[in-house]
């Protein structure tokens, strides 16, 4: 018999692979309706960028066919409520997760990875913000092709900056406040105060993920962010060669430092290899091979993505042409990576905060 009780009983046999509990007791099943042989319900995911969507859908359909009625017509919809470990009263109230994109070495692709992570998460339906935390060398204005001064507004008695918005992604960069070619020549304390303002005095609103594009190295900006803001986790970007790995290890050590502990979500290898367009099966490992994997193994962090070298990626960045719709050869690699990141964040949010 197809009844709500029987369907729920069947669905309570379906285990969420990461959280290792069943979908019903996790409260992930909503809007269950039954009309004749048609069973319809919504699975409420912990992130719209869930890599396990299809797996869970198939498991639910199979459970209903096996345990309730093999003729049942099962329609599964998805929605999401992005989880957070943050409490109501903390700073940046509407921001559920803050993800820092870091590396030791400069030029390995942090800004490229941060930008395309924001785009990929947005594409999946998440509410996303991107803060260019590289005060000395902002890249976001170039990569998104925008350079306007953000508006100031008084909201609830506070003067707040309104982030610019492109394709639904909220953007802020010190570059928006400077003339092209102008340089920041501030000392440490001013830099720290600028980064605090960019976090606190901004109408970020309601965000599932705020991505921070960090400068290279391990300086004042990193320490300020790590010590004063509840960062959900950091991603370490590296290229495959040993000189990049050595600097990436330093970044990992910094995030583990007492007093500034930031959980590490994983490693992403950028510029992994090059495949010519006319020979897509051929891979040239220009910077060596397996560096990201090596770093991931020795630091016991998951390898969340391997992003090849694409001429179009460099061109899009230089020409400010990153868009949500571009059907580009590189968006597949970033979608996969973004789903892995969202999964790691959801996993962290599922266990009580320990660090």
Ligand X SMILES: Nc1ncnc2c1ncn2[C@@H]1O[C@H](COP(=O)(O)OP(=O)(O)OP(=O)(O)O)[C@@H](O)[C@H]1O
Give, to the nearest 10 degrees, the angle between helix 331-350 and helix 110-123: 80
Chain residues 322-341 in contact with ligand X, contact rule CB under 6 A: none
Asked if 134 touches ligand X (CB under 6 A), the answer is yes
**Residue 169: contacted member of ligand X, Mg ion, none (CB under 5 to 8 Å, by partner type):** none
Chain residues 99-118 in contact with ligand X, contact rule CB under 6 A: 103, 106-112
Q: Which position among 254, 313, 345, 346 is part of the footprint of ligand X (CB under 6 A)?
A: 313
- Select the span of 41-49, 255-263, 280-288, 308-316 touching ligand X (CB under 6 A): 308-316
Q: How far is the CB of 90 from ligand X (least distance, A)?
A: 28
Give me the sign of the Cα torsion angle 177, 179, 180, 185: negative
Rounded Cα gap, residues 238 and 248, in angstroms: 6
Asked if 314 touches ligand X (CB under 6 A), the answer is yes
Q: How far is the CB of 288 from Mg ion (least distance, A)?
A: 22
Q: How far is the CB of 244 from ligand X (least distance, A)?
A: 10
Chain residues 37-96 in contact with ligand X, contact rule CB under 6 A: none
**Residue 112: contacted member of Mg ion, ligand X, none (CB under 5 to 8 Å, by partner type):** ligand X
CB atoms under 10 Å from CB of 30, counted, come to 12
Of 262 and 317, which CB lies nearer to ligand X in the complex structure?
317
Q: How far is the CB of 272 from ligand X (least distance, A)?
A: 8
Of 80 and 335, which CB lies nearer to ligand X in the complex structure?
335
In 62-178, the DSSP E strands lie at 73-80, 98-102, 128-132, 152-155, 158-161, 164-166, 169-173
Euclidean distance between the first and final Cα of the chain, in Å? 48
Chain residues 135-174 in contact with Mg ion, contact rule CB under 5 A: 139
Q: Which position among 51, 94, 125, 137 is part of the footprint of ligand X (CB under 6 A)?
A: 137
Q: What are phi and psi of 313, to 5 degrees?
A: -65, -45
- Select the span of 106-114, 268-276, 293-301, 334-342 touching Mg ion (CB under 5 A): 106-114
Q: How far is the CB of 316 from ligand X (least distance, A)?
A: 8
Residues paired with 213 in a beta bridge: 101, 132
CA distances from 162 to 121, 130, 159, 165, 180 (A): 21, 13, 10, 9, 20
Residue 218: name the closest of 161, 262, 165 by CA.
262
Q: Is 143 exposed, middle or buried (0-12, 13-18, 19+ CB in 10 A)?
A: buried
The position carrying tokens 């070619």 is 181
Residue 337: name the closest of 134, 118, 129 by CA.
118
Residue 142: name the closest of 167, 174, 168 by CA.
174
Asked if 307 touches ligand X (CB under 6 A), the answer is yes
Asked if 339 touches Mg ion (CB under 5 A), the answer is no
> 249 with 267: CB under 8 angstroms?
no
Asked if 239 touches ligand X (CB under 6 A), the answer is no
Residues paired with 45 in a beta bridge: 80
Of 264 and 268, which CB lies nearer to ligand X in the complex structure?
268
**Residue 244: contacted member of Mg ion, ligand X, none (CB under 5 to 8 Å, by partner type):** none
Residues paired with 98 in a beta bridge: 210
Q: How far is the CB of 166 from ligand X (least distance, A)?
A: 17
Q: How far is the CB of 104 from ligand X (least distance, A)?
A: 10
Segments in the chain forming alpha helices (H): 4-11, 53-67, 110-123, 140-144, 188-200, 220-228, 242-256, 291-299, 311-319, 331-350
Q: How far is the CB of 218 from ligand X (least distance, A)?
A: 12
- Select the span of 45-53, 57-65, 74-82, 102-110 touching Mg ion (CB under 5 A): 102-110
Chain residues that interact with ligand X, rule: CB under 6 A: 103, 106-112, 134, 137, 139, 215-216, 270-271, 307, 309-310, 313-314, 317
């Amino acid at each position: 018999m197809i009844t709500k009780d029987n369907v729920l009983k069947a669905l309570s046999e379906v285990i969420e692979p990461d959280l290792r509990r069943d979908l019903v007791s996790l409260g992930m099943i909503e809007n269950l309706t039954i009309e004749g042989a048609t069973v319809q319900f919504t699975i409420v995911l912990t992130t719209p960028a869930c890599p396990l969507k299809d797996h869970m859908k198939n498991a639910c359909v199979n459970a209903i066919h096996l345990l309730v009625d093999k003729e049942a017509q099962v329609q599964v919809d998805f929605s999401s409520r992005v989880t957070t470990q943050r409490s109501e009263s903390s700073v940046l109230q509407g921001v559920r997760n803050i993800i820092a994109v870091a590396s030791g070495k400069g030029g390995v692709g942090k800004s490229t990875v941060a930008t395309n992570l924001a785009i990929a998460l947005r594409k999946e339906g998440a509410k996303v913000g991107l803060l260019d935390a590289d005060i000395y060398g902002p890249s976001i204005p170039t990569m998104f092709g925008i350079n306007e001064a953000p508006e100031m507004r008084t909201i609830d008695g506070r003067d707040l900056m309104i982030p610019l918005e492109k394709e639904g992604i909220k953007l802020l960069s010190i570059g928006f406040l400077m003339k092209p070619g102008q340089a920041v020549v501030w000392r440490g304390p001013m830099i720290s105060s600028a980064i605090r303002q960019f976090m606190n005095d901004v109408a970020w609103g309601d965000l599932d993920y705020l991505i921070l594009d960090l400068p290279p190295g391990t300086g004042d900006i990193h320490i300020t962010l790590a010590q004063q803001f509840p960062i959900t986790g950091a991603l370490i970007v590296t290229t495959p060669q040993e000189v990049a790995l050595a600097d990436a290890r330093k970044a990992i050590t910094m995030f583990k430092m007492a007093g500034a502990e930031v959980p590490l979500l994983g490693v992403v290898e950028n510029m992994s290899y090059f495949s010519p367009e006319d020979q897509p099966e051929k891979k040239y490992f220009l910077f060596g091979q397996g560096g990201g994997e090596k770093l991931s193994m020795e630091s016991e962090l998951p390898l969340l993505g391997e992003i090849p070298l694409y001429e179009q990626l460099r061109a899009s960045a230089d020409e400010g042409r990153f868009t949500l719709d571009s059907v580009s050869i590189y968006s597949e690699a970033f979608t996969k990576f973004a789903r892995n990141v969202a999964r790691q964040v959801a996993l962290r949010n599922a266990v009580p905060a320990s660090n």
